[in-house]
A and B are shown apart, each in its own frame.
Chain A
Amino acid sequence: MRTLTRIVAAGTLAAGLGTAAQAQETVTIAALYNLTGGMSSIDAPALNGALLHAQLINEAGGLLGGTVMLEVVGIDTKTDQQETATAAQQALSMDNLIAGIGFGDTTFVLAAAPAFQEAGIPFVTSGATHPMLPTWVGDHMFMTAFGDDDQSYAIADYAYDTLGLRRVALWTDDSMDFTRALATFFRERFEERGGEIVGADVFMMGDTDFSAQIARLQAIDPAPDGVFIAAIPGEAGLSVKQIREAGMAFPIVSGDGFDTELVATVPGPELANDVYFSSHTYRADDRQVVTDFVAAYEEEYGRPPENAFAPLGYDAVGLIANAIEAAGSTDPEAIRDALAATRDFDAVTGTISYTRESMVPPKPVAIIGVENGEFTLLETWTPGE
């Protein structure tokens, strides 16, 4: 119902303004997300964030002095690569298309973004974090999030320096590229710093039972100082709960896949302790842009942002809006150039500048701690250029 009223409201708003100011145009951003199927818990919040931002921009009078309104069209790619390839072509066939956004996972970006690249339309992924993405796809590919190398290095440094961990077990979701990259970068940094990986184990996306891995973790002798879990939100709370219930109290560390309320709610406040993860700088952050976003999200959807992908979707639209203003135009090539020149864009998930040759934004990385089910910002890690 809420969605319906919003669409009707947006429609009347657009129609009303359209007659008022003759020179106004509505431009389309295609938002490709897996809204059903296995990835939907990650991607649906991202679309919500994107829709919210477009709505706020339009309510505030649009872009370029009120001459440009944004329309975000969400396309469901159904956690299926065939649907993804089709959706990319559908998006590219839309009138007034100026950019595409989408996806929280690299493999889906790789099924859609090359078509945008070929058509000369910029594509901004909200949540995919593989640091090679812009290199692989080309100069029309932009990332909202930091790279997996940065977030893994950040938590590896924190685990080594602040938590004082030296011997860490490594759990990896073997079915996803994101989690495998996360684990690889963590191992690389942690070993480089002088730490040791004791015991590596894998699981698969969709697993709910970690008892076999836990028994193996318990059997490591001498016991490790902590465990790094490369997982997405679906397995984050489950793994913490089961490790704690098995009586192991050592620190659990991870990346932005752990940025979900589930880490606190599934184990419950008594067990959600000593969990540390690197993430986008928005959770437990009191910058104005963050608190405004969280308030607007709660007002629109009646619940706080589900995970870090919601603010990332919001920021993907923000990046494009910012580029339109900078370019003074809605021409896709002009937007691309302006996007590439983005410097110090104050996004909810941290400042974005495309200064690196790799085009992966060197964003600050937040280290979040969970104690008694409460999230606290412990430290902000700044990457090298």
Chain B
Amino acid sequence: MSGTARGWSLAAGLTVAGAVAVWLATASLNNYLLTLIAFAGINVILAVSLTLANGLTGLFSLGHPAFMMVGGYVAAILTFPASRKGFMLPDLPDWLAAQQWPLLPALLAGGAAAGIAAVIVGFPVLRLRGHYLAVATLGLIFILRAVVNNLDGYTRGALGLSGIPRLTDLWWVYGWAVATIFVCWRVKQSSLGRTMMAMRENEMAAACMGVPLARTRLLAFAIGAILAGIAGGLWAHLVTNLTPTSLGVFLAFQIVVMIVLGGQGSITGAAVAALGLSAIANLLRPVEQTTGLYGLTQIVVALVLIGVLIFRSQGLFGSREPAFLQGKAVPSLPERQPATPDNTDPQRGST
């Protein structure tokens, strides 16, 4: 989809096909399946948006749940019925307590808040590399959790916000998933995307070519955070309940798993892995429920994961997108490069 007419029409075709699928699903499936698909869609948004930082730029961030928390709380506080906000969240300033926004502006506000948070945090933290960055972003989750937990008057503390209106439906999730994939795809195919990948492959060489390292890193981090914030808002309006422990370390790991399983830097891969993992886990539910062997789902998913990584170490799609989604007009896109020694040598490799 590299700007060619063919690419655009393919994108439009896929979007319309997806919309038809959503319409059919909404018309025929029960609430359980619709909820499952909606969560899988939110996972797609999370995995694809984290691909910018973790897959393309080679940063190792575990901070997505923290940004979801920011976006989720901001959006939920904004959509919450004004009549109940006053006594549930007594410390909110009056002007804020009087607001009751529709979902779209609330999501955008949540995304913006997450983006701002990412920029503030990113300035110092993005100087770190590899595992050091992973620990620092992991720390963000714990720090934010402690703060939200203790600001009772704004967040209702450990009890969390409950009774959030269930505004998220499959259309909202689908719309944002398409928007996320579109944004990330465009970024990946743009000069910014190539800059990111250049940094992932060899930071020093990229710097020598005049790539502004700090700014590119911050951009990758912040764009991902904005989308994560929006996903957090969608999540909160689907679960209808948001507590300081709703979005935690385990979710951070799950998102990374989706990216790696899909192939580092592959947007299609992240989306397919997100959908596939949700599908396996939920197909196994009835088995657990009839045998009483609770925990089986996690065990099987873990075994599948180990198997895939052993037999397909580059993930399902490597760093590429499937050929039919590529505009054939441009045959040599950067993601067709073979894996560099940097990526395969266990002695080196920056994750």
- Distance between Cα atoms of A3 and B296 in the complex (Å): 14
Given known contacts A7-B292, A82-B39, A107-B243, A177 and B158 CB-to-CB distance under 8 angstroms: yes
Interface size class of B (residues with CB under 8 A): 35 or more
Selected from B150, B241, B289, B298, the residue in CB contact (under 8 A) with A36 is B298
Contact mask for chain A residues 52-80; partner B; CB cutoff 8 A; 1 contact, 0 none: 00000000000000000000011110101
Selected from B31, B241, B294, B297, the residue in CB contact (under 8 A) with A89 is B31
B36 at the interface (CB under 8 A from A): yes
- CB under 8 Å from chain A, chain B span 232-285: 235, 238-241, 243-246, 250, 282, 285
Interface size class of A (residues with CB under 8 A): 20 to 34
Chain B contacts of A114 at CB under 8 A? Answer: 162-163, 166, 240-241
Chain A contacts of B241 at CB under 8 A? Answer: 81, 85, 107, 110-111, 114
Given known contacts A3-B291, A111-B239, A89 and B163 CB-to-CB distance under 8 angstroms: no
| Interchain CB contact under 8 A, B239 and A85 | yes
- CB under 8 Å from chain B, chain A span 78-100: 78, 80-82, 84-86, 89-90, 92-93
Chain A contacts of B157 at CB under 8 A? Answer: 177, 180
- What's the count of A-B pairs with C-beta under 8 Å? 104
Minimum CB–CB distance for A340 against chain B, Å: 21
- Distance between Cα atoms of A247 and B289 in the complex (Å): 48
Chain B contacts of A107 at CB under 8 A? Answer: 158-160, 162, 241, 243, 245
A4 at the interface (CB under 8 A from B): yes
A176 at the interface (CB under 8 A from B): yes
- Distance between Cα atoms of A78 and B290 in the complex (Å): 17
Chain B interface, DSSP helix/strand/loop, else mixed: helix
Given known contacts A89-B32, A110-B241, A136-B163, A176 and B292 CB-to-CB distance under 8 angstroms: no
* 25 sampled A-B residue pairs with Cβ under 8 A: A4-B292, A36-B295, A36-B298, A44-B294, A76-B288, A76-B295, A81-B246, A82-B39, A82-B235, A82-B239, A85-B238, A85-B239, A86-B36, A86-B282, A107-B245, A110-B160, A111-B239, A114-B166, A130-B159, A174-B149, A174-B158, A175-B158, A177-B157, A177-B160, A180-B159
Assuming A36-B298, A75-B289, A81-B243, what are 20 further A-B pairs, CB within 8 angstroms? A3-B291, A3-B293, A4-B292, A36-B294, A36-B295, A75-B285, A76-B285, A76-B295, A78-B298, A86-B282, A89-B30, A90-B32, A92-B32, A93-B32, A107-B158, A111-B162, A114-B240, A174-B150, A175-B244, A176-B158
For the complex of A and B, the 9 pairs showing the least CB-CB separation, nearest first, are: A3-B292, A35-B294, A110-B162, A93-B32, A177-B159, A89-B32, A111-B241, A89-B35, A85-B239
Interface residues of B (CB under 8 A from A): 30-36, 39, 149-150, 157-160, 162-163, 166, 235, 238-241, 243-246, 250, 282, 285, 288-295, 297-298
